[in-house]
Amino acid sequence: MTDFAFLEEEQPLPEGHGHDHIVQWHVFRSRPAAETFARGIRLERDQRMVGGFSRDSVGVLYWVGVHVDDLEAWGNRGAVNKHGASS
């Protein structure tokens, strides 16, 4: 297992509206790209890194995001977003 063991778990993509408290999530076509992105995340108190892998019609994809305990304290709900698949 790696430091990013959560990428070994099949998880659906976040729903994208903040109801699941997952913010700023990104989708990647390769695990190394997801790990590179994850290494750059700096967490604040009451935040944790989340993610996993899923599948679409093209193949496997990996996602990494941040789970926040209090979405209102985190900031603007309109800023909850996803950044598309990259390699």
Q: Per-residue DSSP letters for 15-55?
A: -SSSTT-EEEEEEESSHHHHHHHHHT--PPTTEEEEEEEEE
pLDDT at 77: 66
Beta pairing partners, 47: 68
Q: What is the pTM of this model?
A: 0.85
Which range marks the domain in which residue 55 is found? Answer: 7-86
Higher pLDDT, 34 or 79: 34
Q: What is the pLDDT of residues 6-59, one digit of tens each?
A: 999 999 999 887 889 998 899 999 999 999 999 999 999 899 999 999 999 999
Q: Is residue 27 part of a domain?
A: yes
**For the chain, counts of helices (H) and of strands (E):** 2, 4
Please state the domain count of the chain. 1
Q: Is residue 45 part of a domain?
A: yes
pLDDT at 71: 84
Q: Is the pLDDT confidence value at 87 over 60?
A: no
The answer to whether 36 and 2 have CB atoms below 8 angstroms apart is no
Q: Which amino acid is at 7?
A: L
SS3 call for 32: helix
Give the neighbor-by-neighbor strand order of the sheet with 47-55.
Answer: 47-55, 60-68, 22-28, 82-86
Higher pLDDT, 65 or 78: 65
Q: Is residue 1 part of a domain?
A: no
Q: Is residue 2 part of a domain?
A: no
pLDDT band at 83 (very low <50, low <70, confident <90, very high): low
